[in-house]
Amino acid sequence: MAGAVATAAVALVLIASACSSSPTEPGAAGTASAPGAPGPTGPAGAATGGSSDVGDRADAVRSLIESEGAIVHRVVVDGDLVAVHAEVPQSETVPDGPLAQVVLLRLSGDVVVERKATAQAVPDESINGHTMFDGGGDPGAPASASDLAANRDVASRFLTEVLGGANPAAIDELVGPIYTQHNPAVGDGVEALRTFAGAMGPMDVAIDEVVTQGDLVVAWVRYGDTIRGADIFRVADGRIVEHWDVLGPVAGRDPLRSDGAEGADAGGTGGNVGTAP
């Protein structure tokens, strides 16, 4: 019952946003990051946001995604995981565009060994006045391992306690007083967020991966059994101050795959990213 309620709730968000979602593909199975645990971001206390290796990897992945026709807005690197927040313009190969897209890549050296993607049609209007792409966020901002772990924990707690319903009152602890929303169906501010979460009710939330760098956190999340998506958070002073999301069904085509691969086949080796270490 909980899964059915969650699926219906997320579906309502898609309908209210006037967003017909392009399907996602889950990709090959990988080792999920444990919510609340720091990723492989460097020695404890070390600043990781400005590392040249991280910058090279981000630039290589940005070039790879842009070569497929997307406009890249954010790249977040965490160990062997790279999350890309991109815009896919309408074209002959993407007739339903423009799309908001999040691609999650797992790298081994300079080779993409796993690829997941979720996409959602961009609506003509947004009730908060923002697009699904504008706003802040600085993955290059210096952040220690403890900072990144704290940001990861805040995002994970928001998903499980506020949206998942374990502790809805935690919204006041986890969300800043000035909160910018990029989900087209939800208004700015913590009160609009509180109203949305209350209307949706507890959701069946499962976090598969968490990628964090600088002041950004990208969570790869399953809502019930059929909706998978990415939530992107900007964290300042230990609280969430900005949010983007992209939601879609679990199985299907990755709009950024030039080969049009579908289902699990689209989640395997994705090619060489050249300069990635």
pLDDT of the residue at 97: 82
The answer to the question of residue 37 being in a domain is yes
The answer to the question of residue 105 being in a domain is yes
Query: What are the φ/ψ torsions at residue 100 (nearest 5 degrees)?
Result: -85, 140
pLDDT of the residue at 164: 93
Split into its structural domains, the chain has a count of: 1
Residues 218-254 have pLDDT tens digits of 999 999 888 889 999 999 999 999 999 999 876 544 5
Residues 141-157 have pLDDT tens digits of 999 999 999 999 999 99
Distance separating alpha carbons of residues 135 and 131, to the nearest angstrom: 8
Residue 165 is part of which domain span? 2-272
Q: Which of 165, 160, 161, 177 lies closest to 239 in space, CA to CA? A: 177
SS3 annotation, the chain = CHHHHHHHHHHHHHHHCCCCCCCCECCCCCCCCCCCCCCCCCCCCCCCCCCHHHHHHHHHHHHHHHCCCCEEEEEEEECCEEEEEEEECCCCCCCCCCEEEEEEEEEECCEEEEEEEEEEECCCCCCCCCCCCCCCCCCCCCCCHHHHHHHHHHHHHHHHHHHCCCCHHHHHHHEEEEEEECCCCCCCCHHHHHHHHHHHCCCCEEEEEEEEECCEEEEEEEECCCEEEEEEEEEECCEEEEEEEEEEECCCECCCCCCCCEHHHHHCCCEECCCCC
The answer to the question of residue 26 being in a domain is yes
Say if strands 81-88 and 175-181 run parallel, antiparallel, or are unpaired.
unpaired
Which of the pair, 136 or 270, is modelled with greater confidence? Answer: 136
Distance separating alpha carbons of residues 237 and 141, to the nearest angstrom: 13
Distance separating alpha carbons of residues 200 and 6, to the nearest angstrom: 8
CATH of the domain at 193: 3.10.450.50
Residues 26-45 have pLDDT tens digits of 333 333 332 333 333 333 23
Contact 252, 93 (CB under 8 A): no
Confidence of residue 255 (pLDDT cuts 50, 70, 90): low
Q: Is 181 left (phi over 0), alpha (psi -120 to 50) or beta?
A: beta
pLDDT of the residue at 235: 98
The answer to the question of residue 277 being in a domain is no
pTM above 0.85, yes or no: no
